[in-house]
Amino acid sequence: MSLTDRVVDAITDYSKAAIAVMLVVTVLVGAGAAQVEQTSSLDQFQSDTPEAEDLDYIDQHFSTGSDNTTTAQIIVRGENVLSNETLIETLEYQQALRDNETINGTLAADRPTTGVANAIATAGIQQERGAALQATLAEFRQLNATVQEQRSQLEAERAALQENRTEFNQTREALATRANELNATAESLQQALTALRTDPSASIREEFDTVAQSAAVELNESHYATFQTAAKNLRNATDQESVQAAYELGTQGVLSAEYQALMERQQSLEAWGAALQERGAALQEQAATLQEQGQRLEALGGQLQDQRAALENVSAIGLDEQIDQLASMNESQLEATIALVLGDGDNGGGNRVLGLMSSEYERGSTSAKATMLLVTQQTDEAVAPGGTVSDRIVDSQLAMQNLGESFDGEYLVFGSGLITDEINRSMTDSMLIVGPLALLFVLAALAIGYRDILDIVLGLFGIGAVLVWTFGFMGWTDISFNQIFIAVPVLLIGLSIDYAIHIFMRHRERRSDGDRGPREAMRVALGGVGVALTLVTATTVIGFLSNLTSPVPPIREFGIVSAVGIVAALLIFGVLIPALKVELDEFLEGHGIDRHKRAIGTGGGRLSQALKVGSIGARKAPYVIIALALLLSIGGAYGGSQVDTSFAQEDFLAEDPPGWMEDLPEPFKPGEYTAKSNLEYVNERFVREDSQAQLLIRGDVATADGIANLAEARETIRETDVTQKLPGGEPDVQSPLSVISTVAAENETFNATLAAADTNGDGVPDENVAGVYDALYEAAPQQAQSVLYRDGGDYAAARIVVSIQGSASSSDVTEQMRSVADSIDGGGLEASATGQTIIFEIVQDQLLETVIQSLLITLVAVFAFLMVVYRISDDSATLGFVTLLPVVLSVAWILGTMYAFDIPFNVMTGMITSLTVGLGVAYSIHLSERYNQELEQSGSAWEALDRAVTGTGGALLGSAATTVGGFGVLVFAILPPLKQFGLITGLTIIYAFLASVLVLPSLLVVWTRLFGPEDAFDDGSGGSSDEDGDDGPAGATDAVKPRVERDLAPSHVAPGGVVAVTVAVENPPERLALRERVPDAELTIYAVTPEPTEYVAHGSTVVAVFEDVTDRIVLEYDAAVDPETADGTTLSFDGRVLADEAVSIDGAASVTVVTDVVDRVLAAGEVTDEDLQVAADHVATGQLSADAFERICELWVDTDEQ
């Protein structure tokens, strides 16, 4: 017994245990489904590349702005957004943003909103503040000059006064000395007089001369004369009065002239002193006045500092003040301020403000149709390019959008929050639309294919179990649900229906063709189709696991999850569902409910006729069909080589849904989607905050050669056509040179340093570059850190940030930015290009790499697998090669279709090649396997091919239809990649199906001729049919005669029951009429193939007429027995074939009507296997006792022994 037989026996013999085990596993695995998280971030598609590492280096070593922030761009549109009313409204809108609780909590602390209205209002305020500053400065300078002049005069006068005081003091001291001298001389004269009085003999001359010799006063003869007179008077004095007078005359009288002179000089000195006092008082008054003026000057200095600080501190200007400023400005003032802010002059707002204007704006114009407002928000963590943000950012940006509706202007909000919201909503809306459609489709497909409520329920239960296993696996392995995983449920639903159809239809076939019970029929069915399903699963898993070679993480995860889901589908529909069906069918039949059902496609059908085109072509011209298929494939392969690759944020943004979806009820009605149109608008007209390329320059950048390279790069960037041009044509670039220029215009000290290092005046330092960088760090550290990385004291790297046009292709951006980087390389510098756009281009390249690698790996692996399996099972490795060839052709066809419909490879369609092989090979395997089985049984290639196509064709068609329909519902998805994926995958299945039924028959015929049995093409009478379907060579045996066979099921029927009848005509003549008549029955035609010339069903008779038919004719009809038919009645089937020669109808010709099967069994005296099964069913339902069943078993044993 083979391994397959042992597995099948275990499932059917121990079905209850199989059910229990599978249900327990389903519960355990499914428990992980609750842990599945959802993400829509594009950064998950990025892998470890040098460019990604460079971007990480920039984030770590450069100041790239506020940490953990994101920026919402709000486009303000109107008739003239620079009008006073609109500018004020824009500021009021900003106030509303700050007042809103949902928004305010997310706003950055420093300048959360920035717009042209802010710049114009601030400029107006600065103009007024500047004018006030100038007035204060003028007053300060005038007063300062006056104070300085007066202070100089005061100092000079103080110095002169001090000199006068010194001279006065000297004069006073001289007078005091003179007085002392006069007094001393007078005293000497007095002593001389006393001596003369005392000694009358003393000589007056001698006494005078003695005094004159020692006196400090020069005494002359005039003095002597007076002294002589005084001396005489003294000698002659008789009274005291005369004595006193003599003394006075001899002292003061002698020196009277000197004393008079001294007195006059003293009087003059006193007048001089008074004058000095008056001048000193005057100078004190002047000093007090000067002090007051100094205090005023100091106050003006403080006022100047405050005014200058207010002028420079723009962030301190509140929105209320800005609104008041705009409201106070007349038209001419506003226009002048706009010209100042947005004009060409040196006083313009610069790139920062012009970057907020549309590219259509003409610099200096006072009219514009649109402008941009930037809102900076604080995030919980850093937001990667294309990454998602938290719910609070999403809610806040939705609130911004809602607030805009309450204003007169049009406010278009574009930001990572809205993009995250729309991507998430598009995923949800897609599921809400696709899910019910898929469910309806599944119900319709199962209802049409099964026409049995139990099988439909089992199919739905199996699909649910497969999904539970899949999502449970995702939860346990921590794989997040992202955009591309929406395709997984649809994929598994389609494959599950495929598996279910093959299992259920083969089970129905086996119940009908051998009157088997449910368990035995399932055993045979699983034994026949199980191998094919296992091969299909293996090849499909190989196809999806080939995505493990992809450098894109989500694609790898998609391959793993899909492979696990497909294996789960095989286990569920190969173990659990068959076991459940066996148990349920036996239970129902035990209660008298007939579970015999017709299998679709068995023996033919109207649609089966179209499927036989391939077998007809294989008979007539197999090589021509193969050649045509190859030519078509070559064309498709060429078109496939021209298919573009795409990975951009726009790919994941939904367009506004079609109008009919607006009529859907909630919750199926999708929301509005504006991010894509807003993104396109921003790309065409504005600088995208997140659309940048960055050039990282490593090495010693603080050299003259290094900075010269940066200057050359600036010119190269200006010449590229992918850079975002500001109004006026200048590119929006941030580099060390642009920061140097900006800071030099604002800081005089740094400007002086730059001027000293810039010898030729071109704005680029020629010497002392490190010193310039040091001065830049000192003057503006934040700005310097944004473009320079200083490691210790050395400058290790620099960066250039280039704003890129949003509409520029990533390939052009990457090529041109790498060209700029190459121009910088050399001289000890190493430059590289990075940024979101470039990284997205790398992802595109990786997608193309995925397409090629996965296709090659899948083809090689599946080729090897099938050749080994067919070598082991059928001793023919070449059959595995032939089986896969149609799939290879279908790959070329689908690639050509993608080129024709201009569908690029993206994260979804990039997997289409491996998916085509993985899914498409199923159809070839089923047909090849069936052909090989039929060839072994019949020995005739033509009969085997005919039976393989007609027998498997219905199931293949049903499988293809359900899979195409399952994927087809994705075209109604809101998410664009899903639409494309649904369309392309649906076409892939169609192509694989068509290749299997149109091309594979010809390949099998050629294979059989080369490697098959030698007698496979014998016509049955010793001749050999050629590939055109004609008789053998002249002289061969007679032509093959028509052969007609009738098949009935069941052989015993209850009154009112239905008998399924199939009449097959092999080798029909050119003209033929087939008539069937069954008395006491109502006949209804089920299917006729090929299409008859005429056919009719009336009462108990059916007639079908055929002309020029070369294929096998199959007539299927139901015979409904009259409920009043008596027990034991034999219904005879009277058939007749009207042709040019008599043709008999072989096979069953009657059924027996029985009311009580048990009585019939006992009366017959022998028991067949079918009788035994019927009796067992009656025991289960209580209609037959255990004793009676034991008797039937004894008869069955006796029958077997006979």
Quick one: DSSP state of residue 363? T
pTM of the model: 0.65
Say yes or no: 1170 and 1149 in one domain. Answer: no
Q: Tell me which DSSP letter residue 904 carries.
A: P
Starting at the edge strand that comes first in sequence, how are the strands of the sheet with 1130-1132 ordered? Answer: 1052-1053, 1150-1153, 1130-1132
| Residue 66 confidence class, pLDDT cut points 50, 70, 90 | low
Within 13 Å, how many C-alpha atoms sit on residue 640's CB side?
22
Give the Cα-Cα-Cα angle 443, 448, 454 (nearest 5 degrees).
65
CA distance 1058 to 398: 64
For residue 814, tell me if it sits in a domain.
yes
From the CB of residue 1028, how many other CB atoms can be counted at a distance below 10 Å? Answer: 9
What's the pLDDT tens digit per position in 941-1000? 887 887 788 767 666 777 777 778 777 888 888 877 778 888 888 888 899 889 988 899
Query: What are phi and psi for residue 1060, nearest 5 degrees?
Result: -90, 125
Instruction: Return the pLDDT at 1026.
Output: 45
Q: Report residue 1114 as tokens.
A: 């199959």
Residue 1115 sits in the same domain as residue 1063: yes
**Strand pairing of 1043-1049 and 1145-1147?**
parallel
DSSP string, 650-683: GGGPPPPPPGGGGGSPTTTS-----HHHHHHHHH
Token pair belonging to 754: 């730059």
For 696, 822, 865, 1184, the CA distances from 814, given in Å and listed in that order, are 14, 12, 41, 83
1086 with 1200, same domain?
A: no
Report the phi/psi class of residue 1128: left, alpha or beta, with left for phi > 0 and alpha for psi in -120 to 50.
Answer: left
Q: How high is the pLDDT of residue 744?
A: 87
Domain final position from 839, 856, 883? 839
957 located within any domain: no
* CA-based torsion, 841, 843, 844, 846: positive or negative: positive
In a domain, 507, yes or no: no
Q: C-alpha distances in angstroms, 17 versus 72, 527, 583, 1185?
A: 60, 19, 11, 28
Output the CA–CA distances (angstroms, integers) from residue 1040 to 182, 247, 1031, 1138, in the order listed: 182, 196, 8, 17
pLDDT, tens digit (0-9, with 9 covering 90-100), for 116-172: 998 899 888 888 888 888 898 898 889 889 888 888 988 998 899 899 989 989 999
Q: Is residue 150 one of the residues assigned to a domain? A: yes
Last residue of a domain, one of 368, 397, 422: 422
The CA distance from 115 to 121, in Å, is 10
User: What is the C-alpha to C-alpha distance for residues 480 and 625, in angstroms, rounded to an integer?
Assistant: 46
In contact, 689 and 374? CB cutoff 8 Å: yes
Q: Cα dihedral sign for 689, 692, 696, 702?
A: negative
Same domain, 324 and 416: yes
Question: What per-residue confidence (pLDDT) applies to 250?
Answer: 87
Position 1177 confidence tier, pLDDT thresholds 50, 70, 90:
low
| pLDDT given for residue 346 in this prediction | 47
Q: Which helix (H) or strand (E) holds 1042?
A: none
Which of helix, strand or coil describes residue 375?
Answer: strand
* Adjacency order of strands within the sheet including 370-378: 113-115, 370-378, 69-77, 410-414
Is 1132's pLDDT higher than 50?
Answer: yes
284 shares its domain with 219: yes
Q: Determine the average pLDDT of the residues in 201-208.
A: 88
pLDDT at 545: 86
Distance CA 591, CA 1181 (A): 5
Token pair for 835:
């940024």
Summarised one tens digit per residue, pLDDT across range 1002-1028 is: 999 999 888 877 777 765 433 344 444
- Output phi, psi for 582, to 5 deg: -60, -50
Q: Check which CATH number belongs to the domain holding 1088 and give it.
A: 2.60.40.740
Which pLDDT value is given to residue 83? 92
Residue 523 lies in a domain: no
Chain-wide mean pLDDT for the chain?
82
Confidence of residue 560 (pLDDT cuts 50, 70, 90): very high
Q: What's the pLDDT tens digit per position in 715-746?
A: 888 888 888 777 666 778 888 988 888 888 87
DSSP secondary structure letters along 905-962: B-TTGGGHHHHHHHHHHHHHHHHHHHHHHHHHHH--HHHHHHHHHHHHHHHHHHHHHH
- Contact 471/485 with Cβ under 8 angstroms? no
Report CA 70 to chain centroid distance, whole Å.
14
| Token couple for 709 | 């390279």
356 φ, ψ to 5°? -90, -5
Full domain range(s) for residue 735: 689-839
CA 998 to chain centre: 42
| Residues 96 and 209 placed together within one structural domain of the fold | no
Distance between CA 497 and CA 569 in Å, rounded?
A: 9
Does 1200 lie in the same domain as 1093?
no
What percentage of the chain exceeds 70 in pLDDT? 90
| Ranges of H-type helices in 875-911 | 877-900
Which residues touch 1077 (CB under 8 Å, ≥6 apart)? 1100, 1101, 1133, 1134, 1135
By C-alpha distance, which of 224, 212, 221, 203 is closest to 184?
A: 212
pLDDT tens column, 323-352:
999 999 998 989 888 888 887 654 444 557
Among 1147, 1164, 1162, residue whose Cα is nearest residue 1192 = 1162
Residue 443 lies in a domain: no
Q: Are 744 and 367 in contact (CB under 8 A)?
A: no
Cα–Cα–Cα angle for 462, 468, 469, rounded to 5 degrees? 90
- The pLDDT, as a whole number, for residue 610 is 67
Whether 641 is covered by a domain: the verdict is: no
751 and 763 Cβ atoms separated by less than 8 Å: no
**What does the pLDDT read at residue 19?**
92
What does the pLDDT read at residue 475?
92
Question: pLDDT-derived band of residue 859, with 50, 70 and 90 as boundaries?
Answer: confident
Residue 24 confidence (pLDDT) above 60: yes
Torsion angle of the four alpha carbons 106, 112, 115, 118, in this order, in degrees rounded to the nearest 10:
130
d(CA 674, CA 682): 12
Q: Half-sphere exposure of residue 62, counting CA atoms within 13 Å on the CB side? A: 28
Catalogue the long-range contacts made by 785-789 (C-beta closer than 8 Å, 24 or more residues apart).
Answer: 785/62, 785/63, 786/62, 786/63, 786/64, 786/65, 786/734, 786/739, 787/62, 787/734, 787/735, 787/736, 787/738, 787/739, 788/62, 788/701, 788/736, 789/61, 789/62
Q: Quickly state the pLDDT bin for 1037 (edges 50, 70, 90).
A: very low
612's tokens: 């036989």
Domain boundary among 306, 340, 355: 306
Residue with the two structure tokens 């990786």: 846
Most confidently predicted of 70-79, 1151-1160, 1165-1174? 70-79
Angle at 1047 between CA 1041 and CA 1048, to 5 degrees: 155
Q: How far is CA 497 from CA 22, 573, 987, in A?
A: 19, 9, 18
Count the domains in the chain.
5
Write down the residue that tokens 């109604």 correspond to.
972
Residues 150 and 72 in one domain: no
- Mean pLDDT, to the nearest integer, of 930-947? 80
Largest CA distance in the chain: 216
Question: Which positions ≥6 away from 1161 have C-beta within 8 Å?
Answer: 1167, 1171, 1174, 1175, 1192, 1195
Q: 224-238, 671-685, 894-908, 1112-1126 — which is least confidently predicted?
A: 671-685
Beta bridge partners of 1107: 1071
Task: Decide if pLDDT at 847 tops 80.
Answer: no
724-to-305, 374, 686 alpha-carbon distances in Å: 40, 17, 8
Are 1133 and 1185 in the same domain? Answer: no
Give the start-end residues of each E strand in 1014-1057.
Answer: 1043-1049, 1052-1053
| More confident position, 851 or 286 | 286
242 and 154 inside one domain: yes
Across 692-708, b (16+ Cβ under 10 Å) vs e yields: bbbbbbbbbbbbeebbe
pLDDT mean over 177-196: 89
Residue 880 Rama label (left phi>0; alpha psi -120 to 50; beta): alpha
DSSP string for 457-480: HHHHHHHHHHHHHHHHHHHHTT--
164 in the same domain as 87:
no
For residue 320, which of 82, 115, 110, 88 has the smallest C-alpha distance? Answer: 88
Long-range contacts of 432-437 (CB under 8 A, 24+ apart): 432/667, 432/668, 432/670, 433/661, 433/664, 433/668, 433/670, 433/972, 433/973, 433/974, 434/486, 434/490, 434/969, 434/970, 434/972, 434/973, 434/978, 435/489, 436/668, 437/969, 437/972
**AA identity, residue 944:** A
Whether residue 693 is found in the same domain as residue 828: yes
Kindly tell me if the per-residue pLDDT of 358 is higher than 80: yes
CA pair distance 457, 459, nearest whole angstrom: 5
Q: What is the pLDDT of residue 1186?
A: 67
Residue 1121 lies inside a defined structural domain of this protein: yes
Among candidates 496, 502, 501, which has minimal Cα distance to 562? 496
